[in-house]
């Protein structure tokens, strides 16, 4: 199936990603994707300059607000400029360009409104991941299933593809990492048609250093998610 690449907008949240953001942009451009919106979320390095030099549209937060806030800023920008399809794609090189077609095709065919990447759905597509991070993610999976009722295999995967209608419905209010749980809660509440798609996540020493894997952060996400569930 031929992809409508001119209608596909990529949202890349970036915080101190000067080592990877340029390569990530170039990899997307090589495959004909040029609607690339990078949100420099208050970086202290040369993320803004590297992304701009690579040819992306670069928006800047003066201070670090969090990945949720960055995705909201980028999505709002893309919608205002006529995006028909929106893809959340990591700026640090964790997501593979090769998986984009599989992610967007069910949306293009009208089978679902949003696809969610999963590193566990297809066991033949192995993602090498440290044990500590596996434990956190599996715990988050159980927690999310209980709260949202969604039957998922991977709950904190930032690779998503959606149509315009769905992007408008997913009004992200959580600024930090708990936005991932908020998105799933909104999918459940608003009965948005979804599907998980197997993807491979590429972990390096650098991406692991920047990943959310602390016990304190996990507790913070749980508490904020419970509050959102009860009071929003």
120-145 mean pLDDT: 65
What is the pLDDT confidence band of residue 124, given thresholds at 50, 70 and 90? confident
Q: What is the CATH T-level fold of the domain 5-128+157-173+192-210, as seen in this structure? A: Spore Coat Polysaccharide Biosynthesis Protein SpsA; Chain A (3.90.550)
What is the pLDDT confidence band of residue 138, given thresholds at 50, 70 and 90? low
Write down the pTM of the prediction: 0.84
What pLDDT sits at residue 23? 98
Beta strands in the chain (DSSP E): 8-14, 36-41, 57-61, 85-88, 114-118, 160-163, 194-198
What is the pLDDT confidence band of residue 35, given thresholds at 50, 70 and 90? very high
pLDDT over 80 at 64, yes or no? yes
Instruction: Kindly list the domain boundaries of the chain, sorted by start residue.
Output: 5-128+157-173+192-210
What is the pLDDT confidence band of residue 101, given thresholds at 50, 70 and 90? very high
pLDDT over 70 at 211, yes or no? no
What pLDDT sits at residue 224? 55
């Amino acid at each position: 199936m031929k992809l409508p690449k001119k209608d596909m907008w990529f949202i890349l949240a970036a915080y101190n990603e000067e080592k990877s953001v340029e390569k990530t942009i170039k990899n997307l451009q090589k495959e004909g994707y040029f609607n690339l919106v990078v949100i420099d979320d208050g970086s202290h390095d040369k993320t803004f300059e590297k992304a701009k030099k690579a040819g992306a549209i670069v928006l800047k937060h003066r201070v670090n607000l969090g990945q949720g806030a960055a995705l909201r800023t980028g999505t709002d920008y893309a919608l205002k400029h006529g995006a028909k399809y929106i893809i959340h794609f990591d700026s640090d090189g964790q997501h593979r360009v090769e998986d984009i077609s599989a992610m967007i095709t069910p949306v293009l065919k009208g089978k679902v409104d949003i696809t969610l990447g999963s590193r566990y759905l297809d066991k033949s597509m192995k993602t090498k991941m440290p044990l500590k991070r596996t434990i956190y993610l599996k715990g988050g999976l159980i927690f999310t299933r209980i709260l949202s009722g969604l039957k998922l295999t991977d709950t904190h995967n930032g690779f998503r593809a959606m149509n315009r209608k769905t992007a408008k419905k997913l009004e992200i209010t959580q600024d930090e990492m708990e936005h991932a749980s908020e998105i799933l809660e909104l999918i459940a509440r608003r009965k948005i048609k979804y599907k998980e798609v197997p993807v491979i996540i590429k972990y390096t020493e650098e991406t692991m250093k920047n990943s959310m894997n602390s016990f304190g952060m996990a507790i913070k996400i749980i508490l904020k998610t419970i509050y959102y569930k009860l009071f929003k």
